[in-house]
Amino acid sequence: ARAILTAFTADISNPERGLLGKAQREWLFDAMANSNTKWQVIGQQLLIARMLFPVSIFNGVPREQIASHVHKLANLKRKQQQGGTLTQQEIQQIETVMPYNLDAWDGYPVEREQFLTKLNTLEKPVIALAGDTHNAWHNKLTLQDGTEVAVELGTPGVTSPGMEHYLSMDNDTAKKLAEDLPVLIEDLQYCNLHQRGYLTLAITHDDAIAKWHYVDAILSPNGKVSDTHTFVISA
């Protein structure tokens, strides 16, 4: 299994793999370098952050059992963080990871590192906006050495289904998974996997206020915002 994972990692790390394409990448890098604004806001459709899940999740776990499997692994990580002792097998379970969505930037790690390295040279606050998953996400964007270079904000969809639908989760299970994932995924700061809604971003010279708005109904024209989550980014 380890040999397969090594080969898989080598395949997706092929420098010939690209998401942007040479012309678009050069245009983007030039535009960022020549911008004289206080903030850089990059709108694109896919999650950039490393969403690395323990490999055991992909090893034949039925999708309706994935949330409970993640919960067990998250509890192992919590035990480790609190100073508890894990067996070597348990350590391997939580440390052997791979991306779950190769259609996102996780499938193009070399180009992502080039992109994030470019962001790091800007020496100004950077916010990346994302969608695609239909769930709410707040991630740190970091280089492979751990240097934080940007904040990523992912918007949910009002009517489009998200992970809760694909994993056949009820609300309580989705809430628990949203609490467990940031324990296992280092750069993940917040996610909401059980509510539909949208994201707003208000930017001033000094800070940016990200606000996720969650609606109470999607099958009625009278649905209202029933819940919110706010995060403030300082310049």
The verdict on residue 111 lying in a domain is yes
Q: pLDDT 10s per residue in the chain (235 long)?
A: 678 889 999 999 999 999 999 999 999 999 999 999 999 999 999 999 999 999 999 988 999 999 999 999 999 999 999 999 999 999 999 999 999 999 999 999 999 999 999 999 999 999 999 999 999 999 999 999 999 999 999 999 999 999 999 999 999 999 999 999 999 999 999 999 999 999 999 999 999 999 999 999 999 889 999 999 999 999 9
- With respect to residue 107, please indicate whether it lies within any of the assigned structural domains: yes
The answer to whether the beta carbons of residues 57 and 147 sit under 8 Å apart is no
pLDDT at 130: 97
> Residue 58 and residue 66: Cα distance in Å, rounded?
9
Cβ(174)–Cβ(214) below 8 Å: no
Domain assignment present for residue 230? The answer is yes
Tokens of 195: 């509510």
Structure tokens at 136: 């709410």
Domain of residue 137 covers 39-234
Report the alpha-carbon distance of residue 194 to residue 115 in Å, rounded: 31
The total of structural domains in the chain comes to: 1
CB 220 within 8 A of CB 230: no
CA separation for the pair 131, 117 (Å, rounded) = 22
Question: Phi and psi at residue 203, in whole multiples of 5°?
Answer: -120, 130
pLDDT of 4: 86
Residue 157: give its domain's CATH number.
Answer: 3.60.21.70
Read off the tokens for 224. 């209202």
